[in-house]
Structure 1
Amino acid sequence: MDQHRSQHPPNADGSGGSGLIETRSIDYVPARERRGKVWHQGPFWFTGNFVLTTMVTGFIGPALGLSLGGSVLAVVLGACFGTFFMAFHANQGPRMGLPQMIQSRAQFGIRGAIVPFAAVVFVYVGFNVFNVVLATQGLQTVLPGGTTLWYALLIGLAIVLAVVGHDLLHVVQRWLTYLLIVVFGVLTVGAIAHLQPHAGTTSGGSTFTAFLVVFSAAAGYQISYAIYVSDYSRYLPKDVPAKKVIWWTYLGAAGSAVWLMSLGSLLASALPNPDAIAGLRQVGNDILPGFGTFAVVVSSLALISIMAVNAYGAMLTSTSAVDAFRKVRPTVKARVAGIVVIELVVFAVALALPADYLANFNNFVLLMLYFLIPWTAVNLVDFYFVRRGHYAITAIFDPRGIYGRWSWQGLTAYTVGFVAMIPFFATSFWTGPVAKALGGADISFAVGLLVAGVLYYVLTRGLDLSAEEAAIAASDRALEGEDAEGPEAHNGTPLAV
Structure 2
Amino acid sequence: MQTEAIDTAGARRRLRIERRSIDYVPDAERHGKVINQGPFWFLGNFQFFTIAIGFIGPGMGLPFGATALAGALGILFGTIFMAFHASQGPDLGLPQMIQSRAQFGYRGVIVPLLGTLFTFAGFNVVDTVLLSQGLHNLYGWSIVTVSLALAIVAIVIAIYGHDWLHLIFRILFWISLPLYVILTAAIATGHVPGKPPAHAGFNWVGFAAEFAAGASYNITYAPYVSDYTRYLPRAKFRTGLVLSVYLGASLAAVWLIALGAWLATYLGAQDGLVATNAAGNAVFSGLGTLLVLTSVAALTATMGLNAYSGMLTVVTAIDSLRRIAPTRAIRIAGILFIAALWLAVSLSLTANAINALYDALSIMLYLLVPWTAVNLTDYFFIRRGHYAIADLFSSDGVYGDWGWRGLTAYAAGFLVSVPFFNLAGLYEGPIAKALGGVDISWAPGLLVASLVYVVLARSLDPASEAAAISASDKILAQY
TM-score range for the pair, normalised by the shorter chain length: over 0.9
* Most deviating of 96-105 and 143-152: 143-152
Q: Residue type of the partner of 1:107?
A: Q
- Would you say 1:269 and 2:265 are equivalent positions? yes
Q: Residue type of the partner of 1:399?
A: S
1:120-131 correspondence runs (5 A): 120-131=116-127
The TM-score with structure 2 as length reference comes to 0.94
Asked if 2 retains the 8 angstrom alpha-carbon contact of 1:424 and 1:434, the reply is yes
Per the TM alignment, residue 138 of structure 1 is displaced from its structure 2 partner at its CA by 4.9
Q: CA 1:467/1:128 → structure 2, altered by over 3 Å: closer, same or farther?
A: same
Asked if 2 retains the 8 angstrom alpha-carbon contact of 1:93 and 1:234, the reply is yes
1:353-372 correspondence runs (5 A): 353-372=349-368
1:111 is aligned to 107
1:36 is aligned to 32
Per the TM alignment, residue 234 of structure 1 is displaced from its structure 2 partner at its CA by 0.3
1:433 is aligned to 430
The TM-score with structure 1 as length reference comes to 0.91
1:90 is aligned to 86
* 1:212-245 CA-partner distances (Å, limit 9, x unpaired): 2221111111011111101110000111631011
Partner SS, residue 16 of structure 1? helix
Partner SS, residue 73 of structure 1? helix
- Overall identity of the aligned pairs, in %: 47
- Would you say 1:73 and 2:56 are equivalent positions? no
Q: Distance in 1 between matches of 2:164 and 2:405?
A: 38
1:161 is aligned to 157
Residue of structure 2 aligned with 1:414, choices 410, 420, 429: 410
* 1:362-410 CA-partner distances (Å, limit 9, x unpaired): 3233222211110110000000000000000010010010111101100
Asked if 1 retains the 8 angstrom alpha-carbon contact of 2:79 and 2:246, the reply is yes
1:126-275 correspondence runs (5 A): 126-140=122-136, 145-192=141-188, 193=190, 194=192, 195-198=194-197, 201=200, 207-239=203-235, 241-275=237-271
Asked if 2 retains the 8 angstrom alpha-carbon contact of 1:129 and 1:347, the reply is yes
Q: Distance in 2 between matches of 1:135 and 1:436?
A: 33
* 1:87-120 CA-partner distances (Å, limit 9, x unpaired): 0000100101001111111000011111111011
Per the TM alignment, residue 127 of structure 1 is displaced from its structure 2 partner at its CA by 0.8
Partner SS, residue 356 of structure 1? helix
Partner SS, residue 134 of structure 1? helix
2:318 is aligned to 322
Q: Residue type of the partner of 1:184?
A: Y
Unaligned runs of 5+ in 2: none
Q: Residue type of the partner of 1:437?
A: A
Residue of structure 1 aligned with 2:19, choices 17, 23, 33: 23
Q: Residue type of the partner of 2:226?
A: S
1:443 is aligned to 440
* 1:147-173 CA-partner distances (Å, limit 9, x unpaired): 111111110011111101111110110
Q: Distance in 2 between matches of 1:223 and 1:254?
A: 11
Aligned Cα RMSD in Å?
1.8
Per the TM alignment, residue 11 of structure 1 is displaced from its structure 2 partner at its CA by 7.3
Asked if 2 retains the 8 angstrom alpha-carbon contact of 1:24 and 1:330, the reply is yes
Q: Distance in 1 between matches of 2:141 and 2:431?
A: 48
Asked if 1 retains the 8 angstrom alpha-carbon contact of 2:263 and 2:269, the reply is no
Q: CA 1:244/1:357 → structure 2, altered by over 3 Å: closer, same or farther?
A: farther
Q: CA 1:12/1:153 → structure 2, altered by over 3 Å: closer, same or farther?
A: closer
Q: Distance in 2 between matches of 1:281 and 1:217?
A: 24
Asked if 2 retains the 8 angstrom alpha-carbon contact of 1:413 and 1:453, the reply is yes
Q: Distance in 1 between matches of 2:326 and 2:5?
A: 25
* Most deviating of 456-465 and 272-281: 272-281
